[in-house]
Each structure stands twice: as C-alpha cells, then as structure tokens.
C-alpha cells in the first residue's frame, strides 16, 4: 500500500446483509474524519482461502470475520494471537504491508469492556454462564482472564459443558440445564450466551426467583436490545447490561489497528449501530 492508498476493511461472513459492523465502522470513520472504507463481504467457506489472500493485494488492511467462518479462519492465516488460540476462533484479522495475516479474537475483550463500562467488578463473586457454544468460549476465557473467582456453567447439552470444564479447568463448576434457576442463587454476574431470546427464537426460560438483587445480568443477544431475560432481571431490581455494547467494544481494537485512531464507544455510535 502506498501513502496515497485509501485503507479498506470489511466484514466477511455469509449471510452478511444484516451485519451492523459497516454502520459502526462507517460512523467512526466519518466522526474521526479519517480516509477509509468498511464494507460487508458475502463469502462462502469454499471461497474464503482465496478471498483472504487476495484482500491485502487490493488495499485491504484487515477484516472482521463472522458466522460461519470464525473457527475455520484460524487454520487459514499466518499468525494467531494467544487469546484467539484459547478461544479457538477469530473475529479480527490484521494484514501486514507484506500481506501476512494475523488473526485475533476481540469478542471476550468487548464482553468485559461492556460490563466494566457499566461499573461491573470481576471479583464481586461467581459468574453464571448459560450456554456452551462458540460465544460461550469467548465469554469464559474473558471471565477467567478478568479474574472472576468461579464460573458456574450450564448448557442444554451437558457434554458440551463437560468439554469446556475439561479444557478450562477447575474454576468451572457445572450445573444441569434444569437446575439453571438454582445455579443463579450463587451468582454475582449472569450471562446468557445462548441464542434464546433473540428475535425469532424462543425466550430463555429460567427461573430468576433465586437471583440476588445486586447481581449484574447481561445478554450477548442484542436483537432485541431488551431481551426477555433482561426485562425479567430489571423487574427483579437487578442491574442489566445489553449486548449491543459488546458488539461496539469488540470493534474498537480492529478499527484502531486498521485506521490508526482509537474510536470512542459513545451514544452516537450506539445510535448509528441501531439506525
Ligand atoms: P454460538 O457460536 O452463537 O454460541 P452455538 O455454538 O450453536 O452458537 O451455540 C448455541 C448455544 O445456544 C448452545 O449453548 C446451545 O445449546 P446446545 O449446546 O444444547 O445446543 C444453546 N441453545 C440453542 N437453542 C437452545 C434451546 N432451544 N434451548 C437451550 N439451549 C439452546
């Protein structure tokens, strides 16, 4: 890339039309007065290797990666950061001027920043995690690194939770899916990482009666912004943190590396993402 080249970035997934990332990065580019473009790219898994190798040659400085490529992309790049290796998935690629591709995962970072910006404290007590899929892995790694004393985990399919405990060790304590309500009794933080509660999906039906009033409840689902879980937790008097903030915060490190300035997560970018 020469000095006069306009830096390009984008998000690669399939489907991609509903991604909010172009609005987020587009807002920051114009708010900061930076040259650059950020576009959605619909790429199928069979084309991903060729597309990745072509992008640096076309002026791209990096890309976000989303469903269904987050795990698969790890095996297609030149370098993988430690946290992306631990999570086993990547969401942010950075291309060197020589075309070398580094894969990082900023989902866990975004998750923790979102909670901390609402005054959350990792050491306050155990964190209860509902779900043991791909998103759960990023949340678990982030919570462990942030210093939560214990993670209580339950998942509909018990074997997936067992596998996470095997991998991430004895700071994880498992509960059966049917005992999710009892699990909440012990939690200072509650996180939904399942797709339940998302528009078009059934609600997450968990009994909140035993939830402490000073617990912080968050959902990685951000459509709708106020999921049934968050609404119910608010009614219990708990502090809630919606999932849009995680999406905004995970975008910060990529933007900074590609375009050279650290953007703010503020009301304006929230509005842009929701527009
Ligand atoms: P992601 O990468 O978004 O986490 P995933 O790996 O498919 O997606 O995981 C989806 C999570 O939502 C899993 O924890 C899944 O539970 P299972 O492991 O039992 O499939 C959970 N989930 C999805 N639909 C569910 C439902 N109807 N009831 C309970 N859990 C559900």
pLDDT tens per residue, the chain (275 residues)? Answer: 555 689 999 999 999 999 999 999 999 999 999 999 999 999 999 999 999 999 999 999 999 999 999 999 999 999 999 999 999 999 999 999 999 999 999 999 999 999 999 999 999 999 999 999 999 999 999 999 999 999 999 999 999 999 999 999 989 999 999 999 999 999 999 999 999 999 999 999 999 999 999 999 999 999 999 999 999 999 999 999 999 999 999 999 999 999 999 999 999 999 999 99
Q: Which of 89, 157, 163, 195 to mutate to test the pocket of ligand 1 (most atoms within 8 A of CB)?
A: 195
- Residue 84 C-alpha to ligand 1 middle, in angstroms? 21
DSSP 8-state class, residue 97: T
- Residue 170 C-alpha to ligand 1 middle, in angstroms? 23
- Residue 100 C-alpha to ligand 1 middle, in angstroms? 34
- Euclidean distance between CA atoms 80 and 75, whole angstroms: 9
* DSSP-derived pairing of the beta strands 92-95 and 62-65: antiparallel
Short-list 226, 160, 147, CA closest to 189 = 147
Interval 26-68: pLDDT, tens: 999 999 999 999 999 999 999 999 999 999 999 999 999 999 9
Q: Please report which helix (H) or strand (E) contains residue 268, including its range.
A: helix 267-274
Q: Ligand 1 in contact with 88 (CB < 6 A)? A: no
Short-list 12, 144, 6, CA closest to 83 = 144
What does the pLDDT read at residue 2? Answer: 55
What does the pLDDT read at residue 198? Answer: 96
Pair of tokens at residue 83: 């946290």
Of all residues in the chain, what percent are helix, strand and coil, respectively (each to 5)? 40, 20, 40
- The verdict on whether 85 is a catalytic residue reads no
């Amino acid at each position: 890339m020469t000095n006069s080249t306009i830096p390009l970035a984008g998000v690669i997934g399939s489907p991609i039309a509903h991604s909010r990332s172009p609005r987020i990065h587009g807002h920051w580019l114009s708010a900061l007065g930076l040259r650059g473009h950020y576009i959605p790219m619909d790429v199928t898994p069979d084309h991903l290797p060729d597309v990745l190798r072509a992008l640096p040659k076309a002026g791209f400085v990096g890309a976000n990666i989303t469903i269904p490529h987050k795990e698969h992309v790890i095996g297609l790049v030149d370098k993988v950061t430690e946290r992306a290796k631990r999570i086993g998935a990547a969401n942010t690629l950075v291309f060197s001027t020589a075309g070398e591709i580094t894969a990082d995962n900023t989902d866990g970072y975004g998750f923790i920043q979102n909670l901390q910006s609402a005054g959350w404290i990792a050491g306050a007590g155990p964190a209860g995690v509902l779900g043991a899929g791909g998103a759960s892995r990023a949340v678990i790694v982030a919570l462990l690194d942030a210093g939560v004393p214990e993670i209580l985990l339950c998942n509909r399919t018990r074997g997936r939770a067992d596998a996470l405990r095997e991998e991430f060790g004895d700071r994880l304590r498992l509960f059966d899916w049917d005992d999710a309500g009892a699990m909440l009794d012990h939690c200072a933080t509650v996180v939904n990482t399942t797709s339940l509660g998302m528009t078009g999906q059934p609600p997450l039906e968990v009994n909140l009666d035993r939830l402490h009033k000073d617990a912080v409840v968050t959902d990685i689902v951000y459509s709708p912004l106020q999921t049934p879980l968050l609404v119910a937790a608010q009614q219990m008097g708990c502090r809630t943190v919606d999932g849009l903030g995680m999406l905004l915060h995970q975008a910060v490190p990529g933007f900074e590396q590609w375009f050279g300035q650290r953007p703010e997560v503020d009301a304006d970018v929230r509005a842009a993402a929701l527009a």
